[in-house]
Amino acid sequence: MKLRLAFARFDTIAERCGIVGATETIGRHGLKIASGPATMIVLGLASPASAQAIPPISDPVAPPWNASRVFEPTSLPNLTDPDSREEVAPEDMPVKARQQPGYEPVGIRADSWMFTPALIAGGFYDSNVFSSNTIKKSDLAAVVEPTLDAHTLWERHGIDLKLDVQQTTYDQNSSLNQTNASLKGNAWFDIAHDVAVLTSFQVAHLNEGVGTLSSPSNAVQPTPYDLFSGDITLRKEFNRLTASIGTGVDSYQFGNTRAQDGTIISQDGRDGQIYTVHSRIDYAFSSTLGWFSAAEGNQRDLRGTPGESLDSQGYRVLTGLTFGLTNLIKGEFGFGYVEQRFVDPTIGTIAGPSYRASLTWSPTRLLDIHYKAEQLVTETADTGSTGVLANAQQLGFDYELLRNVVISVAGGYETDRFYGQLRKDDVISTDARVKYMFNRFAAVSLYHQYILRSSNISTFSYDKNVVGINVTAQF
Protein backbone atom coordinates (compact mmCIF):
# COMPACT_ATOMS: atom_id res chain seq x y z
CA MET A 1 0.00 0.00 0.00
CA LYS A 2 1.21 3.45 -0.76
CA LEU A 3 -0.14 5.65 1.97
CA ARG A 4 0.40 9.32 2.57
CA LEU A 5 -1.10 11.57 5.18
CA ALA A 6 0.11 14.90 6.50
CA PHE A 7 -1.22 17.00 9.34
CA ALA A 8 -2.22 20.61 9.06
CA ARG A 9 -2.53 23.38 11.57
CA PHE A 10 -5.27 23.72 14.12
CA ASP A 11 -7.47 26.70 13.41
CA THR A 12 -6.40 29.16 16.05
CA ILE A 13 -9.86 30.26 17.00
CA ALA A 14 -12.17 27.34 16.34
CA GLU A 15 -13.26 25.95 19.66
CA ARG A 16 -13.29 22.44 18.32
CA CYS A 17 -11.24 21.35 15.33
CA GLY A 18 -12.77 19.79 12.26
CA ILE A 19 -11.07 17.55 9.77
CA VAL A 20 -10.38 18.71 6.25
CA GLY A 21 -8.32 17.05 3.61
CA ALA A 22 -7.67 16.44 -0.01
CA THR A 23 -8.04 12.92 -1.34
CA GLU A 24 -6.13 11.03 -3.93
CA THR A 25 -6.79 7.68 -5.49
CA ILE A 26 -4.13 5.22 -4.42
CA GLY A 27 -3.74 1.73 -3.15
CA ARG A 28 -4.67 -1.68 -4.43
CA HIS A 29 -8.40 -0.87 -4.65
CA GLY A 30 -8.02 2.87 -5.20
CA LEU A 31 -8.73 3.74 -1.58
CA LYS A 32 -8.96 7.45 -0.92
CA ILE A 33 -6.37 8.54 1.60
CA ALA A 34 -6.33 11.98 3.19
CA SER A 35 -3.26 13.88 2.05
CA GLY A 36 -1.63 17.26 1.70
CA PRO A 37 -0.69 20.01 4.13
CA ALA A 38 -4.34 21.08 4.25
CA THR A 39 -5.24 17.86 6.03
CA MET A 40 -6.07 17.81 9.72
CA ILE A 41 -6.70 14.81 11.91
CA VAL A 42 -7.48 14.86 15.62
CA LEU A 43 -6.01 12.08 17.70
CA GLY A 44 -8.15 10.66 20.46
CA LEU A 45 -9.35 13.49 22.70
CA ALA A 46 -6.57 15.81 21.74
CA SER A 47 -8.63 18.92 21.10
CA PRO A 48 -9.41 21.28 23.95
CA ALA A 49 -12.98 20.93 25.18
CA SER A 50 -15.46 23.47 23.86
CA ALA A 51 -18.97 24.73 24.37
CA GLN A 52 -20.18 21.77 22.31
CA ALA A 53 -19.78 18.13 23.21
CA ILE A 54 -19.94 17.12 19.53
CA PRO A 55 -17.42 18.82 17.19
CA PRO A 56 -18.68 21.05 14.39
CA ILE A 57 -19.18 19.73 10.86
CA SER A 58 -16.09 18.15 9.39
CA ASP A 59 -15.15 16.15 6.36
CA PRO A 60 -14.93 12.37 6.84
CA VAL A 61 -11.68 10.76 7.86
CA ALA A 62 -10.56 8.73 4.87
CA PRO A 63 -9.29 5.20 5.33
CA PRO A 64 -7.13 3.83 6.74
CA TRP A 65 -7.09 6.46 9.48
CA ASN A 66 -10.77 6.06 10.30
CA ALA A 67 -9.71 2.58 11.48
CA SER A 68 -8.62 4.15 14.76
CA ARG A 69 -11.78 6.29 14.96
CA VAL A 70 -14.28 3.69 13.92
CA PHE A 71 -17.36 5.93 13.97
CA GLU A 72 -16.00 8.27 11.30
CA PRO A 73 -17.32 7.60 7.77
CA THR A 74 -15.20 5.62 5.35
CA SER A 75 -14.88 6.06 1.59
CA LEU A 76 -16.04 3.29 -0.72
CA PRO A 77 -13.27 1.52 -2.66
CA ASN A 78 -12.74 2.15 -6.34
CA LEU A 79 -13.39 -1.25 -7.92
CA THR A 80 -12.43 -0.31 -11.48
CA ASP A 81 -9.31 -1.57 -13.22
CA PRO A 82 -6.31 0.27 -11.74
CA ASP A 83 -4.71 0.62 -15.19
CA SER A 84 -7.77 2.42 -16.60
CA ARG A 85 -8.31 4.91 -13.78
CA GLU A 86 -7.84 8.61 -14.27
CA GLU A 87 -6.43 10.94 -11.66
CA VAL A 88 -9.00 12.82 -9.63
CA ALA A 89 -9.10 16.39 -10.90
CA PRO A 90 -8.84 19.21 -8.32
CA GLU A 91 -12.40 20.32 -9.15
CA ASP A 92 -13.72 16.87 -8.18
CA MET A 93 -12.21 17.06 -4.70
CA PRO A 94 -14.01 18.64 -1.72
CA VAL A 95 -14.09 22.44 -1.99
CA LYS A 96 -12.13 23.07 1.22
CA ALA A 97 -9.60 20.38 0.37
CA ARG A 98 -8.75 21.04 -3.24
CA GLN A 99 -5.37 22.57 -3.99
CA GLN A 100 -5.44 24.48 -7.22
CA PRO A 101 -2.19 24.65 -9.24
CA GLY A 102 -0.13 27.58 -8.08
CA TYR A 103 -1.59 27.64 -4.56
CA GLU A 104 -0.15 24.45 -3.09
CA PRO A 105 2.79 24.78 -0.64
CA VAL A 106 6.28 24.07 -1.95
CA GLY A 107 7.78 22.27 1.05
CA ILE A 108 11.40 21.52 1.81
CA ARG A 109 12.77 18.12 0.85
CA ALA A 110 15.59 16.55 2.85
CA ASP A 111 16.51 13.10 1.56
CA SER A 112 13.36 10.97 2.02
CA TRP A 113 11.53 13.53 4.19
CA MET A 114 9.36 16.47 3.20
CA PHE A 115 8.95 19.42 5.61
CA THR A 116 6.29 22.12 5.40
CA PRO A 117 6.80 25.03 7.82
CA ALA A 118 4.08 27.63 8.39
CA LEU A 119 3.38 30.60 10.61
CA ILE A 120 -0.09 31.83 11.54
CA ALA A 121 -0.50 35.29 13.05
CA GLY A 122 -3.78 36.96 13.79
CA GLY A 123 -6.15 38.47 16.27
CA PHE A 124 -9.75 38.32 17.37
CA TYR A 125 -12.42 40.15 19.32
CA ASP A 126 -14.40 38.14 21.89
CA SER A 127 -17.59 39.74 23.20
CA ASN A 128 -17.73 37.50 26.29
CA VAL A 129 -14.26 36.21 27.15
CA PHE A 130 -15.43 34.41 30.33
CA SER A 131 -18.44 32.80 28.59
CA SER A 132 -20.59 34.04 31.46
CA ASN A 133 -23.97 35.67 31.99
CA THR A 134 -22.74 37.55 35.06
CA ILE A 135 -19.15 38.59 34.19
CA LYS A 136 -19.62 39.92 30.68
CA LYS A 137 -16.32 41.34 29.50
CA SER A 138 -15.08 41.81 25.97
CA ASP A 139 -11.45 41.84 24.89
CA LEU A 140 -9.02 41.72 22.00
CA ALA A 141 -6.45 38.94 21.70
CA ALA A 142 -3.44 38.18 19.50
CA VAL A 143 -2.53 34.70 18.32
CA VAL A 144 0.83 33.46 17.04
CA GLU A 145 1.18 29.87 15.94
CA PRO A 146 4.24 28.36 14.23
CA THR A 147 3.81 24.83 12.85
CA LEU A 148 6.02 22.26 11.19
CA ASP A 149 4.66 19.29 9.24
CA ALA A 150 6.93 16.44 8.22
CA HIS A 151 6.24 13.23 6.34
CA THR A 152 8.29 10.52 4.72
CA LEU A 153 8.44 9.84 0.99
CA TRP A 154 9.07 6.13 1.33
CA GLU A 155 7.54 3.73 -1.18
CA ARG A 156 6.32 1.51 1.67
CA HIS A 157 5.64 2.33 5.29
CA GLY A 158 5.56 5.93 6.41
CA ILE A 159 5.63 8.48 9.19
CA ASP A 160 3.73 11.77 9.51
CA LEU A 161 4.62 14.26 12.23
CA LYS A 162 3.29 17.66 13.27
CA LEU A 163 4.81 20.09 15.75
CA ASP A 164 2.55 22.95 16.80
CA VAL A 165 2.92 25.79 19.31
CA GLN A 166 0.16 28.35 19.86
CA GLN A 167 0.40 31.49 21.99
CA THR A 168 -2.76 33.50 22.76
CA THR A 169 -2.33 36.87 24.49
CA TYR A 170 -5.25 39.04 25.67
CA ASP A 171 -5.12 42.81 25.81
CA GLN A 172 -6.95 43.48 29.12
CA ASN A 173 -7.46 40.06 30.72
CA SER A 174 -3.99 38.60 31.04
CA SER A 175 -5.32 35.78 33.24
CA LEU A 176 -6.69 34.24 30.05
CA ASN A 177 -3.30 34.09 28.31
CA GLN A 178 -2.34 30.57 27.35
CA THR A 179 0.27 28.54 25.49
CA ASN A 180 -0.53 25.23 23.82
CA ALA A 181 2.16 22.94 22.46
CA SER A 182 1.73 19.60 20.73
CA LEU A 183 3.73 16.92 18.96
CA LYS A 184 1.63 14.31 17.25
CA GLY A 185 2.14 11.76 14.56
CA ASN A 186 1.04 8.73 12.62
CA ALA A 187 3.05 5.80 11.37
CA TRP A 188 2.13 2.75 9.34
CA PHE A 189 3.90 -0.48 8.50
CA ASP A 190 2.84 -2.62 5.54
CA ILE A 191 3.18 -6.21 6.66
CA ALA A 192 1.79 -7.33 3.29
CA HIS A 193 -0.01 -5.72 0.35
CA ASP A 194 -3.33 -6.17 2.21
CA VAL A 195 -2.21 -5.99 5.87
CA ALA A 196 -1.00 -2.88 7.70
CA VAL A 197 -0.26 -1.82 11.25
CA LEU A 198 -1.36 1.76 11.97
CA THR A 199 -0.11 3.73 14.95
CA SER A 200 -0.70 7.23 16.27
CA PHE A 201 0.49 9.27 19.23
CA GLN A 202 0.32 12.71 20.78
CA VAL A 203 2.27 14.44 23.51
CA ALA A 204 0.83 17.84 24.38
CA HIS A 205 0.39 20.63 26.90
CA LEU A 206 -3.06 22.15 26.33
CA ASN A 207 -5.62 24.39 28.02
CA GLU A 208 -9.38 24.18 28.49
CA GLY A 209 -10.87 27.58 27.82
CA VAL A 210 -12.91 29.41 30.43
CA GLY A 211 -16.60 28.68 29.96
CA THR A 212 -16.08 25.51 27.95
CA LEU A 213 -18.20 22.49 28.73
CA SER A 214 -15.74 20.82 31.11
CA SER A 215 -14.25 23.93 32.72
CA PRO A 216 -15.42 24.78 36.28
CA SER A 217 -18.28 27.25 36.00
CA ASN A 218 -16.66 29.85 38.27
CA ALA A 219 -13.16 29.64 36.77
CA VAL A 220 -11.58 32.82 35.42
CA GLN A 221 -8.42 31.18 34.08
CA PRO A 222 -7.89 28.41 31.53
CA THR A 223 -7.37 24.94 32.99
CA PRO A 224 -3.98 23.54 31.86
CA TYR A 225 -3.45 19.84 31.31
CA ASP A 226 -0.90 17.45 29.85
CA LEU A 227 -2.00 14.75 27.43
CA PHE A 228 -0.21 11.56 26.45
CA SER A 229 -2.11 9.57 23.82
CA GLY A 230 -1.42 6.52 21.71
CA ASP A 231 -3.21 3.99 19.52
CA ILE A 232 -2.23 0.88 17.55
CA THR A 233 -4.50 -0.75 14.98
CA LEU A 234 -4.23 -3.79 12.71
CA ARG A 235 -6.01 -3.38 9.37
CA LYS A 236 -6.65 -6.23 6.92
CA GLU A 237 -8.28 -6.28 3.47
CA PHE A 238 -10.16 -9.34 2.18
CA ASN A 239 -11.06 -8.29 -1.37
CA ARG A 240 -14.25 -6.24 -0.78
CA LEU A 241 -14.13 -6.72 2.99
CA THR A 242 -11.91 -4.56 5.21
CA ALA A 243 -11.53 -5.16 8.94
CA SER A 244 -9.61 -3.41 11.69
CA ILE A 245 -9.03 -3.97 15.39
CA GLY A 246 -7.05 -1.81 17.77
CA THR A 247 -6.53 -0.39 21.22
CA GLY A 248 -5.65 3.03 22.56
CA VAL A 249 -5.02 5.01 25.72
CA ASP A 250 -5.33 8.69 26.65
CA SER A 251 -3.59 9.81 29.82
CA TYR A 252 -4.49 13.16 31.40
CA GLN A 253 -2.82 15.21 34.09
CA PHE A 254 -4.63 18.42 35.01
CA GLY A 255 -3.30 21.54 36.69
CA ASN A 256 -5.23 24.04 38.80
CA THR A 257 -7.34 26.99 37.80
CA ARG A 258 -8.52 30.06 39.71
CA ALA A 259 -12.02 31.12 40.79
CA GLN A 260 -13.57 34.60 40.69
CA ASP A 261 -12.76 35.17 44.37
CA GLY A 262 -9.10 34.29 43.82
CA THR A 263 -9.21 30.83 45.39
CA ILE A 264 -7.54 27.88 43.70
CA ILE A 265 -9.75 25.25 42.05
CA SER A 266 -7.97 21.91 42.04
CA GLN A 267 -8.63 19.71 39.02
CA ASP A 268 -6.46 16.79 40.18
CA GLY A 269 -9.58 14.64 40.40
CA ARG A 270 -9.70 14.52 36.62
CA ASP A 271 -6.26 12.94 36.32
CA GLY A 272 -6.18 9.43 34.96
CA GLN A 273 -6.40 7.24 31.91
CA ILE A 274 -9.06 6.31 29.37
CA TYR A 275 -8.49 2.93 27.74
CA THR A 276 -10.30 1.88 24.56
CA VAL A 277 -10.60 -1.14 22.31
CA HIS A 278 -12.20 -0.70 18.91
CA SER A 279 -13.06 -2.60 15.76
CA ARG A 280 -14.70 -1.90 12.42
CA ILE A 281 -15.77 -3.97 9.41
CA ASP A 282 -16.59 -2.54 5.97
CA TYR A 283 -17.98 -4.50 3.03
CA ALA A 284 -18.43 -2.98 -0.43
CA PHE A 285 -21.41 -4.37 -2.35
CA SER A 286 -20.35 -2.10 -5.21
CA SER A 287 -18.46 1.13 -5.77
CA THR A 288 -21.60 3.04 -4.72
CA LEU A 289 -22.95 1.04 -1.75
CA GLY A 290 -21.38 -0.57 1.28
CA TRP A 291 -22.17 -1.87 4.77
CA PHE A 292 -20.26 -1.22 7.98
CA SER A 293 -20.33 -2.29 11.61
CA ALA A 294 -18.25 -0.59 14.31
CA ALA A 295 -17.81 -1.06 18.05
CA GLU A 296 -15.78 0.63 20.77
CA GLY A 297 -15.45 -0.18 24.45
CA ASN A 298 -13.88 2.05 27.08
CA GLN A 299 -12.61 1.96 30.64
CA ARG A 300 -12.27 5.40 32.25
CA ASP A 301 -10.01 5.27 35.31
CA LEU A 302 -10.01 8.80 36.71
CA ARG A 303 -8.93 9.87 40.17
CA GLY A 304 -12.10 11.67 41.20
CA THR A 305 -12.62 13.17 44.64
CA PRO A 306 -13.59 11.63 47.99
CA GLY A 307 -17.21 10.57 47.66
CA GLU A 308 -17.40 11.48 43.96
CA SER A 309 -15.90 8.95 41.57
CA LEU A 310 -15.35 9.78 37.92
CA ASP A 311 -14.72 6.15 36.92
CA SER A 312 -16.96 4.52 34.33
CA GLN A 313 -17.11 1.72 31.78
CA GLY A 314 -19.05 1.69 28.56
CA TYR A 315 -19.41 0.79 24.93
CA ARG A 316 -20.92 2.05 21.70
CA VAL A 317 -21.92 -0.02 18.65
CA LEU A 318 -23.20 1.16 15.29
CA THR A 319 -24.10 -0.52 12.02
CA GLY A 320 -25.37 0.97 8.80
CA LEU A 321 -24.79 1.81 5.16
CA THR A 322 -22.15 3.78 3.28
CA PHE A 323 -23.08 5.17 -0.12
CA GLY A 324 -21.53 7.30 -2.83
CA LEU A 325 -23.03 8.34 -6.17
CA THR A 326 -20.05 9.60 -8.17
CA ASN A 327 -19.03 13.03 -6.87
CA LEU A 328 -22.61 14.23 -6.41
CA ILE A 329 -23.62 12.77 -3.06
CA LYS A 330 -21.96 10.55 -0.48
CA GLY A 331 -22.52 9.71 3.14
CA GLU A 332 -22.95 7.17 5.87
CA PHE A 333 -25.85 6.38 8.20
CA GLY A 334 -25.53 4.20 11.28
CA PHE A 335 -27.77 3.15 14.16
CA GLY A 336 -26.93 1.21 17.30
CA TYR A 337 -26.73 1.35 21.07
CA VAL A 338 -24.65 3.20 23.65
CA GLU A 339 -24.14 2.51 27.34
CA GLN A 340 -21.90 4.13 29.96
CA ARG A 341 -21.98 2.87 33.57
CA PHE A 342 -20.68 5.39 36.09
CA VAL A 343 -19.43 4.22 39.49
CA ASP A 344 -21.00 7.30 41.08
CA PRO A 345 -24.62 6.27 41.90
CA THR A 346 -25.82 9.86 41.45
CA ILE A 347 -25.04 9.46 37.75
CA GLY A 348 -25.78 5.77 37.35
CA THR A 349 -26.05 4.33 33.85
CA ILE A 350 -26.63 6.27 30.65
CA ALA A 351 -27.94 3.90 27.98
CA GLY A 352 -30.16 3.82 24.95
CA PRO A 353 -30.33 3.83 21.14
CA SER A 354 -27.58 5.72 19.35
CA TYR A 355 -27.10 7.09 15.85
CA ARG A 356 -24.68 8.87 13.56
CA ALA A 357 -25.27 10.33 10.10
CA SER A 358 -22.94 12.17 7.75
CA LEU A 359 -23.88 13.44 4.29
CA THR A 360 -22.15 15.56 1.65
CA TRP A 361 -24.06 16.79 -1.41
CA SER A 362 -22.27 18.58 -4.24
CA PRO A 363 -24.93 20.03 -6.58
CA THR A 364 -22.10 21.74 -8.52
CA ARG A 365 -18.32 21.47 -8.52
CA LEU A 366 -18.19 24.82 -6.72
CA LEU A 367 -20.50 23.94 -3.81
CA ASP A 368 -20.42 21.27 -1.09
CA ILE A 369 -23.33 20.98 1.36
CA HIS A 370 -22.65 19.03 4.56
CA TYR A 371 -25.03 17.54 7.11
CA LYS A 372 -24.17 15.73 10.32
CA ALA A 373 -26.26 14.25 13.13
CA GLU A 374 -24.83 12.39 16.11
CA GLN A 375 -25.51 11.21 19.64
CA LEU A 376 -22.83 10.32 22.15
CA VAL A 377 -22.15 10.01 25.89
CA THR A 378 -19.34 12.01 27.42
CA GLU A 379 -18.48 13.41 30.83
CA THR A 380 -17.54 16.71 32.33
CA ALA A 381 -16.37 17.91 35.71
CA ASP A 382 -17.87 21.05 37.18
CA THR A 383 -16.03 20.59 40.49
CA GLY A 384 -17.98 17.32 40.60
CA SER A 385 -18.86 14.40 38.37
CA THR A 386 -21.41 14.67 35.61
CA GLY A 387 -22.36 12.47 32.67
CA VAL A 388 -23.67 14.10 29.50
CA LEU A 389 -25.90 12.67 26.77
CA ALA A 390 -25.42 14.93 23.75
CA ASN A 391 -27.46 15.10 20.53
CA ALA A 392 -26.46 17.41 17.67
CA GLN A 393 -27.72 18.44 14.23
CA GLN A 394 -25.34 20.41 12.01
CA LEU A 395 -25.63 21.89 8.52
CA GLY A 396 -23.09 23.83 6.49
CA PHE A 397 -21.72 24.59 3.04
CA ASP A 398 -18.41 25.40 1.35
CA TYR A 399 -18.45 27.54 -1.79
CA GLU A 400 -15.56 28.23 -4.14
CA LEU A 401 -16.20 31.82 -5.18
CA LEU A 402 -12.91 31.95 -7.08
CA ARG A 403 -10.04 29.50 -7.48
CA ASN A 404 -8.36 31.20 -4.52
CA VAL A 405 -11.42 32.31 -2.51
CA VAL A 406 -13.49 29.87 -0.42
CA ILE A 407 -16.55 30.79 1.67
CA SER A 408 -17.70 28.43 4.46
CA VAL A 409 -20.84 28.79 6.57
CA ALA A 410 -22.14 26.33 9.17
CA GLY A 411 -24.78 26.20 11.88
CA GLY A 412 -25.64 23.72 14.58
CA TYR A 413 -28.13 22.85 17.28
CA GLU A 414 -27.19 20.61 20.21
CA THR A 415 -28.99 19.40 23.32
CA ASP A 416 -26.97 18.31 26.36
CA ARG A 417 -28.70 16.33 29.08
CA PHE A 418 -26.71 16.12 32.31
CA TYR A 419 -26.85 13.12 34.61
CA GLY A 420 -26.08 13.77 38.26
CA GLN A 421 -27.62 17.23 37.89
CA LEU A 422 -31.13 18.48 37.12
CA ARG A 423 -29.74 20.31 34.12
CA LYS A 424 -30.49 20.42 30.41
CA ASP A 425 -28.85 22.79 27.92
CA ASP A 426 -29.56 23.83 24.34
CA VAL A 427 -26.67 25.13 22.24
CA ILE A 428 -27.03 27.13 19.02
CA SER A 429 -23.86 27.91 17.08
CA THR A 430 -22.87 29.50 13.78
CA ASP A 431 -19.53 29.76 12.01
CA ALA A 432 -18.81 31.86 8.91
CA ARG A 433 -15.39 32.07 7.20
CA VAL A 434 -13.80 33.53 4.09
CA LYS A 435 -10.35 32.39 2.99
CA TYR A 436 -8.31 34.23 0.37
CA MET A 437 -5.09 32.69 -0.97
CA PHE A 438 -2.64 35.21 -2.41
CA ASN A 439 -0.33 32.53 -3.78
CA ARG A 440 1.29 29.32 -2.56
CA PHE A 441 3.12 31.21 0.18
CA ALA A 442 0.44 33.35 1.83
CA ALA A 443 -3.26 33.37 2.71
CA VAL A 444 -5.64 35.38 4.87
CA SER A 445 -8.93 34.32 6.48
CA LEU A 446 -11.73 36.24 8.18
CA TYR A 447 -14.25 34.56 10.45
CA HIS A 448 -17.20 35.08 12.77
CA GLN A 449 -18.47 32.63 15.39
CA TYR A 450 -21.58 32.84 17.54
CA ILE A 451 -22.53 30.58 20.45
CA LEU A 452 -25.73 30.68 22.51
CA ARG A 453 -26.00 28.22 25.40
CA SER A 454 -29.42 28.22 27.08
CA SER A 455 -29.67 26.22 30.29
CA ASN A 456 -32.48 25.57 32.76
CA ILE A 457 -29.85 26.54 35.36
CA SER A 458 -29.24 30.19 34.55
CA THR A 459 -25.64 30.09 35.81
CA PHE A 460 -24.63 28.12 32.72
CA SER A 461 -26.43 30.28 30.15
CA TYR A 462 -24.44 32.71 28.02
CA ASP A 463 -23.88 33.94 24.49
CA LYS A 464 -20.80 35.26 22.73
CA ASN A 465 -19.51 36.53 19.40
CA VAL A 466 -15.96 36.01 18.16
CA VAL A 467 -14.67 37.95 15.13
CA GLY A 468 -11.13 37.53 13.89
CA ILE A 469 -8.52 37.47 11.18
CA ASN A 470 -5.63 35.09 10.51
CA VAL A 471 -2.71 35.54 8.14
CA THR A 472 -0.81 32.42 7.15
CA ALA A 473 2.69 32.28 5.68
CA GLN A 474 3.89 28.88 4.52
CA PHE A 475 6.54 27.32 2.37
pLDDT tens digit string along 359-381?
999 999 999 999 999 998 876 65
Q: How far apart are CA 446 and CA 155, in angstroms?
A: 39
Q: Is a pLDDT exceeding 50 seen at residue 48?
A: no
- Could you read off the pLDDT of 82-128 as tens digits, one per residue? 666 666 666 778 888 888 888 888 999 999 999 999 999 999 999 99
Predicted local distance difference test score (pLDDT) of residue 379: 65
Q: Find the mean pLDDT for residues 271-294.
A: 95
**pTM of the complete model:** 0.82
Q: How far apart are CA 423 and CA 237, in angstroms?
A: 46
Q: How far apart are CA 166 and CA 178, in angstroms?
A: 8
Predicted local distance difference test score (pLDDT) of residue 470: 97
Domains present along the chain, CATH in parentheses: 22-474 (2.40.160)
Cβ atoms < 10 Å from Cβ of 326: 10
Q: Find the mean pLDDT for residues 22-29.
A: 31
Q: How far apart are CA 327 and CA 23, in angstroms?
A: 12
Q: If residue 379 lies in a helix (H) or strand (E), which one and from where to where?
A: strand 367-380
- Asked if residues 466 and 139 have their Cβ atoms less than 8 Å apart, the reply is no
How far is CA 39 from its chain centroid?
Answer: 11
Residue 380, classified by CB atoms within 10 Å of its CB into exposed (0-12), middle (13-18) or buried (19+), is: buried
Q: Are strands 178-192 and 386-402 parallel, antiparallel or unpaired?
A: unpaired
3-class SS at 304?
A: coil
The proportion of the chain whose per-residue pLDDT surpasses 90, expressed as a percent, equals: 59
3-class SS at 174?
A: helix
Contacts of 306 (CB under 8 A, 6+ apart): none
The proportion of the chain whose per-residue pLDDT surpasses 70, expressed as a percent, equals: 85
- Asked if residues 229 and 248 have their Cβ atoms less than 8 Å apart, the reply is yes
- Asked if residues 295 and 278 have their Cβ atoms less than 8 Å apart, the reply is yes
